Amino acid sequence: MLYLATPSGADVRAAMQAGLLGCMTTPAQGNVLPAGTLYACDNGKFGKGWPGAAAWCAWLTATLERYGRDRCLWAVAPDVPMDAGATLAESMPWLEEIRALGVPAAFAAQDGSQESGLIPWELVDVLFLAGSTEWKTSPAAHRLAQQARERGLAVHMGRVNSRRRLRIAQAFGCATADGTYLAYGPDTNLPRLLAWMNELHTAPTLFGDPP
């Protein structure tokens, strides 16, 4: 599993260039991505970073042209946090547009997305487990992750900021996870995060393993 973070400080940027981390970028972030880093494009809908559809589309196109489509893991279609039905309506016009830009399209699953017909599987390349913390770590989200992997899709989990959450993401079969853990105290948190990631690759994961 690859952890996607913001490029907060020289050591974090060096870890990205070394392939130990990937980069999550958003319209409001404003950071220059380290050369050669794998990255993903979020839309800024969670929080206050959404610039509007036209500006988001222009930003996404410019980002791909600047940093290369070959290094972009995926771009997540516009969504409505915590609302599965509204997210489906919001995302549908954009999934094929993202694919047309030459990168995989991620769909942000929300609370309730496990209900029939709320994920357009044929248009999705990556299932992004979004929504509330309670939902995205629930058995319902776990089953959706299994369905995605059975379809040959990658799975991502958002807002992963602890060892326990990392281990849940791994137990769900996530290929990537992201969080803001390194945005605060990167000098202290980077060694800790890298140790957690190393542990994931060397020790078995138990669902619900304590922190």
Domains of the chain: 2-202 (3.20.20.60)
pLDDT of residue 48: 85
Q: What does pTM read for this prediction?
A: 0.95
Q: Helix %, strand %, coil % for the chain, to 5?
A: 45, 15, 40
pLDDT of residue 164: 95
pLDDT of residue 131: 97
Residues of the chain below pLDDT 70: 204-211
Residues 6+ apart with CB under 8 A from 73: 2, 4, 22, 38, 39, 40, 104, 126, 154, 176
pLDDT of residue 209: 40
CA atoms lying within 13 Å on the CB side of residue 70: 2
pLDDT of residue 203: 77
pLDDT of residue 65: 98
